[in-house]
Structure 1
Amino acid sequence: MRQTADRLFTPLGGTSIRDIGLGKNGAHAPRALIVYVAHVIPYYVAGKLEKAPMLNEHSMYWETAEMVRQLNERGLVVDFYDVHCTEPIAWESYVVAFVQNDRLAECPPKLPIKKVFYCTENYWAFQNLAELQRLEAFHARTGIWVRPERQTRVSFSDEHADFLTSFGTAFQQRLYSERPQKHLLNISVAQQPTHVTKDVSRARRNFLWLGSGGAILKGVDLAVEAFRQMPEATLYIAGAIEREPRLWQWLKPLLAQHPNIVYLGWVDVTSAEFVKLANSCIGQIYPSASEGGPGAVAQLLHFGLLPIVTQSAAVRGAALGWEITSPDPAVIIAGIQRHTREVMALTDTELRERSAACQEFATAYHTRPAYATSFADLLDRLAL
């Protein structure tokens, strides 16, 4: 393992990391291929996973290391290709492949390899169109065109897979091929906080939007449009919107005009400051146009934040709160306002009960152990 680690620390993206677990399992062990995001794998192989600077920025980073760990524990040697790596793949070397991009289409169909499309998104055509439609709607309201940030790769891996994994709901799966068997994975979270009883009398008017890049796809503008008309409620925005300068030029002046909209910028969800903030809120707003099961929503369920989400966000815990089925931005804005007021109208007892239900759901389905169990179940189905 040390020999492998010594040659791993190359620039992120576009690399492959071979022979993980070779020292433990031997040269004659069966091999597994993973094609996914390789950012933290060098740290994992070096025994320094917790030092990976991006480990807590997204649930996928820890999950990639857990995939490798479980495969090694089952006696397989792993070759890990970054999702942007263009190196040729010797498909005949593997007994199983977990592929997040389009490269399953390269696999010769007659090879006896078990093929898993590791699906983390909505169908590519749906997502790309959904983002462009949101950008067009934003321009119609504001006169500002914003650069698309979440256009995803074209992929037909689902048509070649034996299994298709997902993190979201049936909405996420509906456009994918019916060919592969489906397997639901549980999203992990970076922070599994100690669950506390929320002071709902203070939290009942506070709501949170938490998101990453592609903020218009994820509906931050719709949340802002809703709350600028509801001065009785407060919206906290946690995400680096200033990284998207054309969106920021619209949002920044609105913050001065509407003191009930509070911009936090990028946040570390494991920090004491964020824990305090999340525990002071009662609801989360996530009107995304396309997701494969959002980790941000999963994280906030641990803090007992009732979800107000769109159907296209594919949130498994949507029934804990409110789901807006229409893709029309005007309907979504009105829905956010209506459901926010419904939350604020609930009694303290009702809010405590619903908040506790969110925490219970998160404990059952959105932890690192929950992901590990669901991935182990997949390996069992693959007879590995």
Structure 2
Amino acid sequence: MSILNKLKIKVKKSTLLLNIYESIFQRDLINIFSSVYDKKVLFSYSTYHFRKGNYVKHSNYSESLVIAEVFHSLGYKVDVVNNNRFTKVDLSSYDVIFGEGLPLYQALQSETNALKIYYGTGSHPFHCSQQSISRLIDFYRQKAFLATGSLRTNDYRWGVAASLADAVICIGNDVTRSTFKEQGASSVYSLDPSFHAREDALTIGQSKDFDTCRRSALWFGSYGLLHKGLDLAVEAFRENPSWTLHICGYTEAEKELLDAISLPENVVVHGFVNVFSEEFKALCLDCGFVLLPSCSEGLATAVITCVANGAMLPIVTKECGFDIGDNGFKIELSKLSITQVLHEVDKLESELLKSRALAIQADSLERYSLDNYKTSLINSIRDILDEC
């Protein structure tokens, strides 16, 4: 790992260092379109998304720009603040406060009259934290290692904001939406995310040979390896040595977890891989499946990325928020469940696997576009504005 990446990880893990960094480089952005509208919206998410230009590591960067543009098109001045700290702006001056995190909680505390819309990129924060901690406990009982650095937990105030907001717009499907309803949210809208599509996605799909890739799967994630079930995937592949598991993610940041798992020979770690690289293209051709035994997501963009760009068949938990239909495999949060699917796949013809892969790839390429995201978002916001 480079010195720069080590420094970034250190800063992110230290609240003090992170606050110092953000106070210098990620200040509040006021009236980003220099508009003259009377109405104002405060967008609580990430100012960083508006400073990076054409950033392709995650689709939430381009989606942030769409959110701001939508409110601008509806006649609002748009201010942007970070979601991980209280803001100093006058909350009483806003007509709408949109987003997630501490500013939404702050708006509830201050009893502002602004319309509060919680924007959830994952499941409800209470649900996410509970699921992640459950995985921590299970893993500790097996390995006697407390993998706190591999979780995805939230400040309780995020959950309070999600439950008490006037409305919720969440990324995901009906499963994701239900996690908000179960925690008391009264008005919940769900929408599909976008993803970064390769120009050669369809060519990759047509080129796949399921006779050679039918026993290889890709675990494609970011942070929170335990939360996203990497340990379960590894143990299932340990018991199925004729299969190969490829791992892509920020693995260097969670090396202690990988050491605790002790990877078998049929598990290959690649670290972070750019979706537009030749290395990712090679993985798309080599892997017939994307495997994500995550305990909580909104709608896992990682799964969409692999299905749509690489014609990989999804092997996922319902918590991934991805609608597999007839062209994928649903698993539970267990090694046994993953193993059962691997055995099921072994019985299927390669021609059938490829036809299903191409079908779900075509559907994903059409469904998860930035244009569709924008249309769904503006419809949801308009409905909320009309109702409230």
Structure-2-length-normalised TM-score:
0.84
* Pairing partner for 2:367 from 359, 365, 369: 365
Is the helix fraction higher in 1 or 2? 2
Match for residue 328 of structure 2?
A: 321
**2:219 matched to 1:209?**
yes
Match for residue 348 of structure 1?
A: 350
CA contact (8 A) 1:12 1:38 kept: no
* Pairing partner for 1:16 from 28, 32, 36: 28
Uncovered stretches (5+) of structure 2, i.e. residues with no partner: 1-21
Uncovered stretches (5+) of structure 1, i.e. residues with no partner: 1-8, 44-48
Deviation at 1:230, TM superposition (A): 0.8
Secondary structure of 2:146 counterpart:
coil
Match for residue 100 of structure 1?
A: 100
Cα distance in 1 between the residues matched to 2:142 and 2:325: 28
Matched residue type, 2:129: N
CA contact (8 A) 1:38 1:83 kept: no
Trace 1:1-384 onto structure 2 (pairs within 5 A). 11-12=24-25, 15-22=27-34, 25-26=35-36, 28-43=37-52, 49-50=53-54, 55-107=55-107, 113-148=114-149, 149-154=151-156, 155-177=159-181, 178-193=184-199, 194-196=201-203, 197=206, 198-251=208-261, 253-254=262-263, 258-302=264-308, 303-317=310-324, 320-325=327-332, 327=333, 332-383=334-385
Report how many aligned residue pairs link the two structures: 354
Deviation at 1:75, TM superposition (A): 3.1
Deviation at 1:217, TM superposition (A): 0.5
Matched residue type, 1:335: S
Secondary structure of 2:172 counterpart:
coil
Cα distance in 2 between the residues matched to 1:159 and 1:81: 21
CA contact (8 A) 2:213 2:287 kept: yes
Q: Which deviates more from structure 2 when the two are superposed, residues 165-174 or residues 199-208?
A: 165-174
Match for residue 6 of structure 1?
A: none
Cα distance in 2 between the residues matched to 1:74 and 1:192: 32
Deviation at 1:102, TM superposition (A): 4.5
Secondary structure of 1:138 counterpart:
helix
Secondary structure of 2:314 counterpart:
strand
Secondary structure of 1:17 counterpart:
coil
Cα distance in 1 between the residues matched to 2:271 and 2:51: 29
Match for residue 5 of structure 1?
A: none
Deviation at 1:36, TM superposition (A): 0.7
Deviation at 1:318, TM superposition (A): 6.2
Alignment deviations for residues 96-130 of structure 1 (CA, whole Å, 9 cap, x no partner): 22121253344369865332110122222322222
Structure-1-length-normalised TM-score:
0.84
Cα distance in 2 between the residues matched to 1:112 and 1:322: 46
Q: Which deviates more from structure 2 when the two are superposed, residues 153-162 or residues 298-307?
A: 153-162
Secondary structure of 1:172 counterpart:
helix
Alignment deviations for residues 204-256 of structure 1 (CA, whole Å, 9 cap, x no partner): 111100011110010011100000111111110111222113213234x52xx
